[in-house]
Structure 1
Amino acid sequence: MSDIVIGLGDQNLVADLTGILQEIDDVSIKAVAGSTQELVDLSRRMRPDIVIIYQEIGPEPVTEIIRDITAQRPDVAVLEVSDTRTPATVVKAMEAGARGVIAYPFSFPDVSSRLELAQEWVSHIRKFQTGEDTGGRQRGTVLTVVGAKGGVGTTTVATHLAQDQVLKHSQAKVCLVDVDVEKGDVGAVLDVRQSVSIADVAKVAEDLGTQTVLDAVILHETGIHVLLAPVDVREADFVTPEALQAIVEILRREFDVVILDAGGHVSPSQAACVEVADEVLVVTTSDVMSVRAMRRRMMAWTALAVGDEADMRVLINKVDKSSIFPAASVPKLTTARVLETRIPLSSRLLETAQNERDPRAITEVAWWRLFTELRREVGLERTTVRPAAVERKRGSRRERRGRDKSAARSESGERTSRREAGGIALENSVMIPFVLLLAAICWQIAVTGMTFIWAGHATTAAARSYAVSGQTGQARSAAVDSVPGPFSSGLSVSTSGPEQIAVTMRIPLGFGGAFGLPTSLTTTRTVVNEP
């Protein structure tokens, strides 16, 4: 899938081009810019694969913008849109750094062919960078660990993930970077005193080299390489998003796993960590304030186009079964993937590691088994040690993430389908008796009402006959003849003096006795004697 940023000032051109791009597979339009300044900013922040720019977008000349974009991102393919595609126009665009020229008015064959060539070029250049620039070694995985808010255990999770990676893969090079530049605690957790920090490296970001970054990295006795936050909070301003991106890019080439502890406080450096990461792990606790802060933070990242909530993973930390807010409620409140692994509330267990300032002080097998499972869920278990002399091939980061997301969604969908199917079957088995009981009660009430109506007719007929004949038998015959067959069975007539007659009628086709309802009805009428 190739991400595209479009720079077209004319809305008609935008509509025509997007209509064609939507018909092309493996293409995703990330943003549309209306000016050259906006286009340069989007290209820097969103890191697209292809940039399409109109020659008349303005206000700056299009050739200068192409040079700026390709200078910042040598691996991006720029395609220029021209009203007149002549040999001179093509040569001028290629000299500026473009990979091709698309003619306007647009045609599907022209646009698709130019995009295909641009995609092939991007694929080749990135394979070249991955292989030759790193000596044939695989680029490392970058995991950003972010807290929903302060106090949810972000640093503990990041540190113990790094420690478990080293324990399970002793030959792997793991770097833990404290990017919580204002309140970083990695140095305190690992008892590290440093002379340089990430701020010192960021100060020379414009002329940054690999050795400069590695000189600031400390190899801790646990086997974790550490790049710490500055001690002086005033130096936090040096860690800009641009500097952080350059530092992480170098660390990615030198280490198998790079874990960024981005802290639990909103900052530009935290947003940059989310943007450059292969995977983003958001740590939260199952309480209203933390979940609310997590949702607001994810919405802000989506609005800033540095991350998508659906692509993130959520870890529920400090799970307490006695909590009023259950951990099972968190997946219902976010579109991110909530991990099945959950870290229980373990204050006493962590106390030893905190006092000794060494994660290895925790000897509980179950604790490290949790973090091994956590590494598997976030994708770190796929990371292996880089060979020294054998060149290794890897797919692009987006392809790998796409496969992981598809597998996760498929697995999640299957689990959801199974849960829903089981829930429906259980509900049906419980509801059927209630439905049958309700239907029986309704039937009994309906039959009782009909019996009451016909009993009134029968009593009237019996009173009239009795007034003429004075015979109870003839009154019963008159009552039987006035009602339908099912209601006449068991009908009886009785008198109470010469002026009252009563008809008792059994309720047919009923089972009122089982529900405490009557099984027969008796109605009375006054006998009017005929003169």
Structure 2
Amino acid sequence: MTQVVIGIENENLVADLMSLLEEMDGYSVRAVAKSPSELVDLTARLEPDVVFVHETLGIEPVTQTIRDIMSRRPATAILQVSQVRSASTVIKAMEDGARGVVAYPFAYEDVSTRVLAATEWGEQMKAVLAGAAVTNSSRGQVVAVVGAKGGVGTTTVASHLAYDYLRDNPHERVCLVDVDIEKGDVGAIFEVRQSVSIADVAKISGDLSPVVVHDAVIEHESGLHLLLAPLDVREGEFVSPEALRAIVALLRRDFDLVILDGGGHVSPAQAAIVELAGECLVVTTPDVLSMRALRRRMIAWEALGVREEAAFKVLVNKVDRASLFPASAVNKLTTAHVVSTTIPLSPRVLEPSINDRDPGAVTEVAWWSLIKGLRQELGLARGPAPAPQGVSKKRRGRKKKSAETEGGDETQATVREPAMAGRGREAGAVGLETVGILPAAVLLCLIGWQTAVTGFSFIYAGHASSVAAREYSVTGDKVEATQAARKAVPGSLRSGVSVSTSGKRVSVTVPIVKGWPGSVLPTQLTSTRTVVREQ
């Protein structure tokens, strides 16, 4: 039973607050104080879990009352009761040591949300003060994915990270939040229609509750939960850093993983999620413009105190080996940690998912292997137990069963041995079949190679005869024509090239490289061209 002490002079407010707490299971009001000194004394004696203190309790500032309680009972969660719950009021109360602000007239959702969060904090604080490590935290992990600039693939990476994590961890709850207010594409990638957005939640950020946030979250058919960007860009002004902090705090309580897609455009919202996230992945491409934008972005974030450059992780996306800017150069241009996973330029691989608006439409195993490698480097490698462990368990089960039947069930043990022998014979048969097929496969490869070489020789013979005929038409010299023909073929064939003339016809013979001795294929090709003598 969670113990509560109330410090409010107004009896009507006390009655309203007590009636709400009675509706909540597991909460009991131990005492009501009418002055700051009485409240501090009751807190020291009763050791409550949660304390409500009114902003006008006594003649002393509420700041001093909160600090007196915290100095005596640091594990007690304090909630300040105020007439107005504004951003400045909440910040001031948190600076004094309170865990939140409850506004009146009281609303059940507001009071229950603040009390639950305060109770959770108090339990963790007690464990810390007792010297115990808090291992089972109910707060989910938050990962922000932002782009060095627009068009580097930020939304694609964030969406596929969330989708792949949920496939490997179907028992967990994953939420993908589109914080790219101006150009959010998460809804298009998953083909979902929205009636509310993150802007609608941000409008009432001063009075948020879990019910309000969950009503705005859309559950996709894949099991992934989505909180989308507004359709009207003008509503983006409501998504302030303060609103994002409140929204992310509530999402962390209900989801095991929250991935924030910050897009590639600089905004206060993007800076806020970079500061809030436990891990921040910056997506860039190996080109001069993206690296210039990355450097400017890192310098700005570090100058504003949002996050140090070394605390970021950088993913190099759309790597093209033919590019003049190598992907390896990114590591030399930033002090952030560049992950070892690089994603090659693969528009054809992602085209099915874009056309079908379903990340699951990507069937390339190599693509999902890259996403899994990226998840491991971000600390998101949780998933089902690997297959070898399951095999080991089955083997242990068979050994146990064999030991149980060893004393009396000799028939089963006898039957099991021929089965193993049969599998051994099948393995031997497969090996013999492979040996028999190998010569035929080698012969087919040689025939294919010889056919290809013959085709190339035919092409070079035609080109050499055209060159020789042109030279002979100008000079009338067979030696000059032969030299021109030899220059027109690769060096390995020049020694075997011969030229013959007959009237107005010039013939060039080119040798064919034989793939093996005694080949029945022709050993040379002859091409003839007609000469037009130039006067």
Normalising by structure 1, we get a TM-score of 0.49
By relative contact order (CA 8 Å, sep 6+), the higher-ranking structure is: 1
Instruction: Return the TM-score normalized by structure 2.
Output: 0.48
